[in-house]
A = this chain, B = another copy of it.
Amino acid sequence: MTMKPAYKDLQKVVNRLGFGTQCHKAIETMLEASGGLLSECERQPLVSKVPGKEYFSFGGKSGLRSRPINSGLYSISNQSSFETFLDILSGNRHSYTADEITGAVYTAAISCCAAIDVISKADRKTQGTLFEWLCATLVQATLNVIPTRSLDVLNLDLKGKLPTDFIFDLGIEKPKFHLPVKTSTRERIIQVWAHQRVLDGVYGTGRFLAMPFILTETKLDLKTLTVTEICLPWQWRLYQMHIANLWNVCYLDVPSDYLKLNSVFPPVNVVTVGDILTAGGAIDILLQAHEL
């Protein structure tokens, strides 16, 4: 199957049945379509201004170019990354190291986004939606709970529905996760802190644990083929101190400027998706503490 029908099929399953095991097969088809398409594209090395990271880009037949891809994280050889990703979805995340998980999730997500990049001139909305579906499916497989996208507000004379990012509610007196999903954030990240602030205000501080899932912060200059990372660590510290507290900011391609925020006081916890999901990682510690 090619990309567009694979995308449409996945969309149908997601809209009808959500992010459970029913959509794993459609995700597998989507990954195969992405891998097939990209294998026919030329790899263009990029000039990396990001210390310690190398990037390349796929060039499509119509002259369209994909977003930058981190060579150290991307590994498509013999399809093992896709297999690992699907195995993690099927419940075997404890079989892999943090680095293996990060590589597999990154490869799956960036492949889907890059495959759309090289066939579509349109805005980046499709890629963002696809990334949301992959992350929601991954987190549903991990927490074994179906996400919602709104919450009831019942507070004196205020009654209504608050639209939210993905909410994974583990039950009465159990953790509730607030999961914004973004392919990149730049200055828009302040929205994540602001939404968390509203949740803290409406439901009580600490009631929801914010765990944004972010693909990367790379920026490609198409003229010079140069990759940079756009990071605002100084603003993040002010947001964490003055707006709300994010539980763990989870990256697939984590910027080192944000990793440094783990070691300033007060810290912002910045982790890779592997750190979060691996055996004994942040999710396991939390689930064990709540006997889940």
Contact = CB atoms under 8 A, between A and B. Distances in A.
Interface of A: 153, 158, 160, 162-163, 188, 190-191, 193-195, 197-198, 200-202, 234-235, 237-239, 241-243
Which of A160, A188, A201, A243 has the most B CB atoms < 10 Å from its CB?
A: A243
Given A153-B238, A163-B235, A194 B190 contact: yes
Given A191-B194, A198-B239, A200-B242, 12 more contacts: A158-B237, A162-B235, A162-B238, A188-B191, A190-B195, A193-B194, A194-B243, A197-B243, A198-B242, A201-B242, A202-B238, A202-B242
12 contacts: A153-B238, A158-B238, A162-B235, A162-B238, A188-B188, A188-B191, A191-B194, A198-B238, A198-B243, A200-B242, A201-B238, A243-B243
A81 B9 CA distance: 54
A237 B160 CA distance: 12
Return the 9 tightest CB-CB contacts between A and B, nearest first. Answer: A201-B242, A194-B194, A190-B194, A198-B242, A197-B243, A160-B234, A190-B191, A198-B238, A194-B243
B241 A201 contact: yes
Contacts of A163: 235
A49 to B, nearest CB: 21
Chain A residues touching B, majority SS? helix
A229 B153 CA distance: 24
Contacts of A200: 242
Contacts of A195: 190
Contacts of A234: 160, 162
Contacts of A198: 238-239, 242-243
Contacts of A237: 158
A115 to B, nearest CB: 24
Contacts of A238: 153, 158, 162, 198, 201-202
A242 B204 CA distance: 11
A223 to B, nearest CB: 16
A104 to B, nearest CB: 32
Nearest to A198: B242
A5 B197 CA distance: 45
Nearest to A153: B238
Given A162-B235, A235-B162, A243 B201 contact: yes
A239 B193 CA distance: 12
A193 B201 CA distance: 14
A237 B159 CA distance: 12
A243 B153 CA distance: 16
A201 B190 CA distance: 14
